[in-house]
Amino acid sequence: MSLGLVGGDVVTSRGVLPGGWVHVRGDRIVGVGSVDEPPPASGTRVDCAGFTLVPGFVEIHAHGGGGGGYEEGPASVATALATQRAHGTTTSIASLVSLPLPRLRRALGELAEFVRSGELAGVHLEGPWLAGTRCGAHNPAWLRPPEPGEVREVLEAGAGTIRMVTLAPELEGGLAAISTLAGAGVVAAVGHTEADFALTNAAVDAGATVATHLFNAMPAALSREPGPVLALLADPRVTVELIADGVHLHAAWVRQVLAAAGPGRVAMVTDAIAAAGMPDGAYTLGGGHVRVAGGVARMLSNNALAGGVTTSDVLFRRAVQEYGLSVADAARVTATTPAAALGLSDVGQLASGLRADVVLLDSALTVSRVLRAGRWL
Q: Say which amino acid occupies 127.
A: G
Residue 258: in which H helix or E strand, if any?
A: helix 251-261
Per the omega criterion (within 30 degrees of 0), is the bond before 226 cis?
no
Active-site annotation holder among 9, 235, 245, 271: 271
Q: Say which amino acid occupies 295.
A: G
Residues ≥6 apart with Cβ < 8 Å to 149: none
Taking alpha carbons only, the member of 82, 177, 163, 181 closest to residue 121 is: 163
- Rounded to whole angstroms, the Cα distance separating 69 from 71 reads 5
- Rounded to whole angstroms, the Cα distance separating 370 from 175 reads 41
* Antiparallel, parallel or unpaired: β 44-47 and 2-12: parallel
Say how many C-beta atoms besides its own lie within 10 A of residue 339's C-beta. Answer: 24
The question of whether 271 is a catalytic residue gets the answer yes
Phi then psi for residue 267, to 5 deg, are -115, 110
Catalogue the active-site residues: 271
